[in-house]
């Protein structure tokens, strides 16, 4: 439980800050068997936005949510999605932005409204430890399948059982992908 609390608190702290070090949230692109188990073999179908999912509220019903990977927690099958209503800084080419792969051009309130914590949990109900979900990286447009719940601290958490990569955006040629 303490590990889960620290993990949740760390993700919420990241939402309010722009990282100037892309290595701090970069995933292991290789992944492992634990992470590979969550990759869906087919598109899960029609998806709702992050904002609509949060507005509808918690439910045990299985849903599909679409968003961009905003953060990946190293060592766990946990990520944060950002709704597609917000544009990452490289998409709008904000002048002087040192981190074009993030959302530091938007105010923290917009982050709270359009982001969603996603956890892939094991049988014990805690996030699965993994080297990563194969071929998943920041800014990938994904669909996740699962249900929206409230944790013991009253935070919304999308408990997912699968992820489907829809697309990987191209950054302008003069920008490097964070790995």
pLDDT, tens digit, for every residue of 69-128? 999 999 999 999 999 999 888 777 666 667 777 888 788 888 889 999 999 999 999 999
The DSSP bridge partners found for residue 137 are: none
Q: Which domains does the chain have, with CATH numbers?
A: 2-15+25-167 (2.40.50.140)
Residue 78: what pLDDT? Answer: 96
Q: Pairing state of beta strands 141-150 and 63-72?
A: antiparallel
The pLDDT of residue 176 is: 61
Nearest alpha carbon to residue 110 among 167, 70, 163: 70
Q: Is 156 within 8 Å of 36 (Cβ atoms)?
A: no
166: left (phi over 0), alpha (psi -120 to 50) or beta: alpha
Q: Residues near 135 by Cβ (< 8 Å), separated by ≥ 6? A: 29, 31, 165
Global pTM? 0.78
Largest pairwise CA distance in the chain: 46
Q: For 46-58, what is the mean pLDDT?
A: 96
When pLDDT is cut at 50, 70 and 90, the band that residue 7 belongs to is very low
CA atoms within 13 A on the CB side of 105: 17
Sign of CA dihedral 57, 109, 87, 128: negative
User: What percent of the chain is predicted at pLDDT more than 70?
Assistant: 74
The count of residues in the chain is: 179
What number of other Cβ atoms are within 10 A of residue 38's Cβ? 22
Q: What is the pLDDT of residue 45?
A: 96
Nearest to 74 by CA among 131, 12, 32: 131
155 or 14: which leads in pLDDT: 155
Asked whether residue 168 carries a pLDDT value surpassing 80, the answer given is yes
């Amino acid at each position: 439980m303490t590990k889960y609390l620290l993990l949740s608190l760390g993700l919420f702290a990241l939402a309010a800050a722009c990282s100037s070090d892309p290595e701090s949230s970069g995933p292991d692109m290789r992944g492992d068997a634990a992470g590979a188990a969550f990759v869906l073999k087919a598109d899960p179908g029609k998806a709702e936005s992050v904002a609509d999912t949060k507005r509808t509220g918690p439910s045990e019903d299985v849903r599909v949510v679409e968003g961009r990977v905003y953060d990946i927690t190293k060592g766990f099958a946990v990520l944060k999605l950002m709704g597609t209503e917000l544009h990452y800084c490289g998409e709008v080419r904000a002048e002087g932005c040192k981190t074009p792969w993030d959302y530091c051009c938007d105010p923290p309130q917009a982050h709270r409204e359009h982001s969603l914590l996603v956890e892939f949990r094991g049988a014990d109900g805690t996030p699965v430890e993994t080297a990563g979900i194969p071929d998943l990286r920041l800014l990938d447009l994904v669909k996740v399948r699962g249900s929206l719940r409230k944790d013991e601290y009253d935070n919304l958490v999308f408990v997912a059982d699968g992820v489907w990569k829809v697309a990987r955006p191209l950054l302008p040629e003069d920008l490097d992908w964070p790995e």
